[in-house]
Structure 1
Amino acid sequence: MQLLTLSKSDRIAGLQALLPGVMVILVIALASRFISEHYGAPAMLLALLFGISMNFLSTHDDCAPGIAFGAKTVLRFGVALLGLRISFDMIGTLGWPVVALVVAMVPMTIGFGFLVARFFGFANRFAFLSSGAVAICGASAAMAIAAIQPKDEKSDDRLVFTVVGVTLLSTAAMILYPILSQFLGFDDHKAGIYLGATIHDVAQVVGAGFSISPEAGETATLVKLLRVAMLAPVIMAATFLIHRHTTTTAEHQRPPLMPAFVVGFIALATLNSLLALPQPVLALAASGSGWLLLASIAAVGLQTRPAEVLKVGRAAAGMLLAETLFLAALVALALTFLPQFSTATP
């Protein structure tokens, strides 16, 4: 945004300074997507690992500005564009019991993360980062939460570990949860609710749902998008609390009360709800958001030192697993025992 206030020659010079680093993250994103589409590996995880393998570039004078731009600004645009995947019509399609379940389970999972954090030896930052990623939308939520948290020397390491952890857990859930849904006796509609409410990343939700049936796949996708919609209120609430409890110093400034990317997310979701936007526009926005988030996670990987990530340790892995199991059990109990779901229909 600062480029807009500069003269034309300064803007050109600024863009030229960004170009080498942006080209690096673009190449990593393209390679990750190609391998993902041809061999089935998660694109986000590939981009992160490719970035880590070339982290020496982040210290190169030519590449550093563009990589920093990718890890920060590109991320925010990607999260904002997610808003075009949300509409108010989802509430009517899913019904209020499902909406209430999603709205309740997000803060409960985040609360569980804060509750067990001390047991695993972590403070509030990792508690919020990990539980928010598990509760909302995996890697995308992790990056959005990291964007509003005050930075310290371990911020990037915690983010990378969380992205890797939730991606691997999502991949495992994509295989195991359809089997679990069948074991629990869920019909296709309830199985779709379960998968959409418990698997972390959108791509794995789609894969798991449609592996059961078209009905399960469509229901799972809608429920997952409803979870994505919870990103905005969670980020807004967290930003308010961080702003309230952060002291401004010369080295550390308070975050804005309303981050611009959250404003963009809400504005685009509202626009998509009020207007019948052309399907090509929505498809372009969904694709663009995916590419921007893929590029930004490549940039985060480029800024990461593997040795520092490993220091996060087994305790962090255990905490992510505990939060995932808590969410899976919470939703399973709700769908099994709450009367609202005993007569649920598509």
Structure 2
Amino acid sequence: MTALARFPLSSRHLRQVGAVLPGLALTLAIALGALFLHERLGVGALSPLLLSIVTGIVIGNLVPLPGVLLPGIAFSMKRLLRLGVILLGLQLTLAQVAELGVSGIAIVVVTLVATFVVTRRVGAWLGVSRPLSELIAAGTAVCGASAVLATDLVSRARDEEVAYAIACVTIFGTLSMLLYPLLAVPLDLGQVAYGLWSGATIHEVAQVVAAAFQVGDEAGHTGTIAKLARVVLLAPLVFSLAFMRRGDGAGASAGRPPLPWFVLGFLAMVGLNSAVELPRGLLDDARLATTLLLSLALAAMGLETRLARLRAEGLRPLALGGFAWLFVSGLGLALVLALTTP
């Protein structure tokens, strides 16, 4: 007896799979196209995640989407997003984080926590919605678009708010990528200090790599490790945010925000990669799969984003993103100078 015969698919399951396929095929095509363009263009700022959401927005606003696509779009935006965040854990180990030492870890933790807390409060003062403030705060403090996506599973922001937050972290992260190498000499930063500053404050992993390695291999290595240490902190940040929102009754009209159990999967992958030396080929495949899954989710979000509603958000969220960028850059630099200068 075959495995398929032992576990037969019911007609309901077949209908569910069939309903998902059209929309999934569209988001997959967008994500694969973004990966292809990223490889051909070779520009770190134009990540597959950014290209996916931009392509989705263009298609979603130019072409009316038939209803048959909606189940697959929703599947990409929810189920595949969680899987992508889980696999993100295979990109780092606890041993890598330990390489930073006590002062390096302190710089990363203090910068991340302070940036997130202060950005949320300034967002409230500016009149930016709480979900959008949280997305901009997480994207700036932790790891760009990936953190925005993970945080949104708790914050439950509108698609337009997610798109706006990703635009903010992309714009200001790119500015850091371009400006930081020019500041290394005037600021008299050694390679380790510069790497720590880059890794603790620049938004996306690719942006950190591009900025840090321009100064030297030691700076690039230190910057990459510091950035991965921030990614580890994504898990406790999202869990803390979920418990806070459940405790204060946020989103009561739509039910309490769910506990982000997918974060446990993320931590399990970090633990596995820390305890077992996994084959390099497997890790490379997992990294590609993570990028593809997150690109699928962003393509889906782009397809459901309407530019008219995006424009309605105004300039206040952009001002918040700019403030968060200046805050994280300045605080990170101050801590690096205070804790690493002989």
Q: TM-score, normalised by structure 2?
A: 0.92
Q: Does 1:101 align with 2:107?
A: yes
Q: How does 1:34-183 map to 2 (within 5 A)?
A: 34-39=36-41, 40=43, 41-55=46-60, 59-150=65-156, 155-183=158-186
Match of 1:193 among 181, 196, 203: 196
Gaps of 5+ in 1: none
Gaps of 5+ in 2: 1-6
- CA RMSD, aligned part only? 1.9
Aligned residues: 332
Q: CA offsets, 1:255-287, max 9 Å, x none?
A: 333x22111101111111112222222211111
Aligned-partner Cα distance in 2 for 1:70–1:182: 45
The alpha-carbon distance between structure 1 residues 6 and 323, as it changes in their structure 2 partners (threshold 3 A), is farther
Alignment-derived partner of residue 227 in structure 1 = 230
Aligned-partner Cα distance in 1 for 2:78–2:101: 36
Contact 1:58 1:302 in 2 (8 A): no
Alignment-derived partner of residue 216 in structure 2 = 213
Paired AA for residue 138 in structure 2: G
Alignment-derived partner of residue 341 in structure 2 = 342
Alignment-derived partner of residue 256 in structure 1 = 258
* Secondary structure, aligned partner of 1:277: coil
CA shift at 1:6, angstroms?
10
Aligned-partner Cα distance in 1 for 2:134–2:251: 22
CA shift at 1:247, angstroms?
7.1
* Secondary structure, aligned partner of 2:67: coil
Contact 1:193 1:220 in 2 (8 A): yes
The alpha-carbon distance between structure 1 residues 150 and 29, as it changes in their structure 2 partners (threshold 3 A), is closer
Aligned-partner Cα distance in 2 for 1:187–1:130: 30
The alpha-carbon distance between structure 1 residues 58 and 276, as it changes in their structure 2 partners (threshold 3 A), is farther
CA shift at 1:42, angstroms?
2.9
CA shift at 1:124, angstroms?
2.6
Match of 1:242 among 233, 242, 245: 245
Aligned-partner Cα distance in 2 for 1:282–1:276: 10
Alignment-derived partner of residue 202 in structure 1 = 205
CA shift at 1:92, angstroms?
2.5
Paired AA for residue 219 in structure 1: T
Identity %: 33
Which region of structure 1 is more displaced relative to structure 2, 93-102 or 120-129? 120-129
Paired AA for residue 201 in structure 1: E
Paired AA for residue 43 in structure 1: P
Aligned-partner Cα distance in 1 for 2:333–2:266: 30
Q: TM-score, normalised by structure 1?
A: 0.91
